Structure 1
Amino acid sequence: MRQSASIGVEPKGKNDSNRRGIHPGLFYGMFALLLGGNALAVTGFLMAPDIARLMGGHNEMVIAAYEDRLAQMRVEIDRLHSRNYAQAGDINLQLQELSQQQEVLLEQHQLVRVLVEKADQLGISASVAGTAGIPVSHAAISNSDIGATSDALVQMMDETQRAMTGIAETAELRTDGIVSELSRLGVSVEVPRTMLAGMGGPFMAAADGGDISPVMEDANAVMDALVRYKAARDSLNLVPVHMPISGSFRQSSGFGNRTDPFTGGRAFHSGLDFAAATGTAVYSAADGVVTFVGNRSGYGKVVEVKHGNGLMTRYAHLSAQLAYEGQKVSTGTPIAKVGSTGRSTGPHLHFEVRRGDSPLDPKTFLEAGKRLTAML
């Protein structure tokens, strides 16, 4: 037992000697040599010409790329500047165009105001939108501002143009209506074709800038239409198309064959009878000159008025005559009073329209007058 135990246990000093290994000083020295070698190797690597060239080329590539980007940015900035300059030039050009449009608009508006006043005098109404000048500021203006302002100017120019066109069309329509109605009555109307009929002078070469502006031409055309309408309307006053009586009345007898109130037989009636109270005012049916004031057989007290186009009107069975021979009367001038003189069964106005010695149906004239009044 003792022998086996002694064999299994080694002496303490011998075990410590075997575990001692590499000396620490030797270890640190070898580590320092290795580190220094590595440092020298890295330094040599970096300093090698080919490697240095490769590393420098990479930096140059980065720098070149950066400079290219800067160059691109400069080009973009220059392009933006150029575009801004171009826009500034466009803005100035557009502002000049706006200024010209504004001048045309103001000229157009002034002409329209004159034409509207003239049309209003002739009974033609026109609605013209306000077209006061729009101030345009050169500061802080954008293309959208210019576009909106230009659209507004164009819209107002269109409105004033439509106003002028509306006046001209209304005047022409009424002129044609008057001419058509009076033509059916056998009355010719002298309507000038142009406002300035007299033209002439020596031939001379055209001068630069001497052309009449389109706005002025349009205004002249409108004025021409108004002049034509005025001439037609003035001629209307010469035709007996206006009622010769007003107030409370009724038509008691028409034009043509009828039963005679005294004999009961068929007889021709040469006018219209309007039953009304004695003393009711009687008016001239058109402009003219009083050619007769007196008594006629069967008519009683009579007033006769001569008009243009060979027409004459006769007002009979009167209780009183207010006009005198040779008097110039206008449409609506009181010339007599209703009565029952002559061959009459009661107070009424006997109204005749004649061309020469031939009686015409007054109702045709008065109906035309109603249509014209509605149109005018």
Structure 2
Amino acid sequence: MNATGQSAVFGKRKEPHTVIIAHGDEIRHFTVRPWMAAVIGSAFAAVAIGYLLATSYLVLRDDLIGAATARQARMQQAYEDRISALRSQVDRITSRQLLDQQLMETKVSELLERQTQLSQRHGRLDSVIERAEKEVGAKLPDAAPAPQQKPDVRAEIGAPADGGAATVSLASLGAADTKPFSLWSTRTDIKADDSSADRADKLFVAINQSLRSIENEQLDRVSRLADTAYENADAIKDALASAGLPVDSNFGKDETDVGGPLIPLDKAAIFDSKVKELDEALDALDHLKSEARRLPLANPAPGHVVTSPFGVRTDPILGTAALHSGMDFRAPRGMPARTTAAGVVTRAGWAGGYGRMVEIDHGNGFATRYGHLSKILVAVGQKLKAGDEVGETGSSGRSTGPHLHYEVRHNGEAVNPLRFLAVGKKVQKYL
């Protein structure tokens, strides 16, 4: 009996919860199962949590929006500050580039102007130096040559000719020593880590040094030529004066009583002054050469022995003391007798004791005579140059054998030809 009661208890089924709804005669019931309760509870919990979150968001939204707005404002301000700093930096770089460009354009213009001046000077010096070397008679070492064509300095340093932004590339600077002209063959100490401005400055310095060197060489060359011309002129003047021969006393005279304020000259004025000085020196030398060439300074019989000098001697025919008005040179019959200076033939024929004689007027009262000729080859009035043949030696007239009788006369008076021959030896290298 007990067993039967226990089985009834343990075997009893638990009934599910049932919800009964009565409305009038209608009765409805719902069975609530555990999973439905869990779902409904979860839904209510989710709604509650969502409500709480929405309420919290609505409460804290203003604070979040304010914080986000403040953070965005700070970021925007930082960006604007950075942009302003970059703009300022760009403006500084642009201003510096403009200044560098203007400075570079100025330097390029100066270099081009100086180079043009050097080229013009070189062209001007060609004729002057050619004349100087001809007059002086000694070729001086060549100075630095002028450029065959004007190199483009702008292209060399990277500055466009249209005035755009100037850029200096390392390749263009490093290639400066490949130019054939010495102006561009100057090596510089440009380094790879130098800035563009530094490389440009070093290149400009190198080019300026080359231009200055060429200018100094040109001035030095002109000065040396002028000094040499003055020295030659002084040598000719001193030789003529020492022999008592006429020379322009006012020519080349030093004027020491002078004065005035000091006015410094620039390079162009110095160059013009030096060229003018060279012209004056060449004029002086040319004048003295012309004066010397008009004098009978050459030897009428070079390489032949003087058999009878000028002065008192024993007459070869009478054996008594007599004045010998010229010099006798031993010469075989038929040897050419040549004039010792340019002049005009005033006598050509038989002249007593001279035999066949030629007299030449050289101007300024100077004349020469060539006596005892066997043949006369010129006529009266004929113009001769120095070295022209006037006749052939012989023994005509009052002579004891073939020789050349040579006389120098000044204002009709016989003078010692040896004095002229000695001066001729001194000045021959200058003429």
**TM-score normalised according to structure 2 size:** 0.59
Identity in percent: 32
Partner SS state of residue 114, structure 1? helix
Deviation readout 1:25-51 (Å, 9 max, x if unpaired): xxxxxxxxxxxxxxxxxxxxxxxxxxx
Counterpart CA distance in 1 for 2:373 and 2:234 is 37
DSSP-derived class of the 1:176 partner: helix
User: Matched residues in 2 for 1:280 and 1:191: separation?
Assistant: 42
1:216 aligns with 2:285: no
Q: Judge which range, 224-233 or 366-375, deviates more.
A: 224-233
Gap change, CA 1:262 and 1:77, over 3 Å in 2: farther
Cα distance, 1:118–1:189 mapped onto 2, change above 3 Å: same
Give yes or no for contact 1:187–1:309 (8 Å, CA) kept in 2.
no
2:283 corresponds to 1:227: yes
Q: What residue number does 2:142 align with? A: 128
Distance change >3 Å, CA 189–CA 283, structure 1 → 2 = farther
Aligned-pair CA distance for 1:342:
1.9
Instruction: For residues 208-250 of structure 1, give each alpha carbon's deviation from its aligned partner in whole angstroms, at most 9, with x where no partner exists.
Output: xxxx85433432332232223222212222110112234x522
Within a 5 Å distance, the mapping from 1:331-370 to structure 2 comes to: 331-370=386-425
Describe the superposition over 1:276-327 as per-residue Cα deviations: whole angstroms up to 9, x where unpaired: 1111111111111111112223221111111122111111111111111111
1:245 pairs with one of 276, 290, 301:
301
- Whole-angstrom distance in 1 between the partners of 2:146 and 2:320: 71
Kindly state the Cα deviation for residue 189 of structure 1 after the two structures are TM-superposed. 3.5
Question: Could you tell me how far apart the structure 2 residues matched to 1:122 and 1:88 are?
Answer: 50
Shift of 1:82: 7.5
1:138 to 2:157 alignment: yes
Question: SS at 2:372's partner residue?
Answer: strand
String of CA shifts for 1:48-91, please: whole Å, max 9, x gaps.
Answer: xxxxxxxxxxxxxxxxxxxxxxxxxx999999987776655544
Residues 281 and 80 of structure 1: CA distance in aligned 2, closer, same or farther (over 3 Å): same
In the other structure, the counterpart of 2:120 is 107
Aligned to 1:294, the other structure's residue is in SS state strand
* Residue matched to 1:200: none
C-alpha distance in 2, partners of 1:259/1:84? Answer: 99
Tell me, yes or no, if structure 1 residue 171 matches structure 2 residue 171: no
Distance 1:191 1:127, change over 3 A: farther
Helix, strand or coil at the partner of 1:298: helix
Q: CA deviation at 1:331?
A: 1.1
Tell which has more relative contact order, 1 or 2 (C-alpha 8 A, sep 6+): 1
Structure 2 letter corresponding to 1:173: E
Q: Alpha-carbon deviation of 1:167?
A: 2.3
SS at match of 2:246: coil
Q: TM-score, normalised by structure 1?
A: 0.67
Q: Deviations over 1:191-212 (max 9, x none)?
A: 877xxxxxxxxxxxxxxxxxx8
* Alpha carbons 2:339, 2:388 under 8 Å: kept: yes
Contact 1:191 1:232 in 2 (8 A): no
Cα deviations by residue, 1:124-170 (Å, 9 ceiling, x for unpaired): 43443212266222313522222222111111111221222222222
SS in 2 for 1:173: helix
Q: Which of 349, 365, 382 is matched with 1:327 structurally? A: 382
For the residues of structure 1 that align with 2:385 and 2:202, how far apart are their CA atoms? Answer: 61
- Partner Cα separation in structure 1 for residue 92 and residue 222 of structure 2: 48
Residue 240 of structure 2 is aligned to residue 182 of structure 1: yes
Written as runs of structure 1 = structure 2, the 5 A alignment for 1:1-376 is 88-122=101-135, 124=137, 125-129=139-143, 130-132=145-147, 135=151, 136=153, 137-139=156-158, 140=168, 141=173, 142-183=200-241, 184-189=243-248, 213-246=269-302, 249-376=304-431
- Does structure 1 conserve the Cα–Cα contact (< 8 Å) formed by 2:136 and 2:228? no
Structure 2 unmatched ranges of 5 or more: 1-86, 159-167, 174-199, 253-267
- Counterparts of 2:231 and 2:292, CA distance in 1: 15
Q: CA deviation at 1:360?
A: 0.8
SS of corresponding position for 1:331:
coil
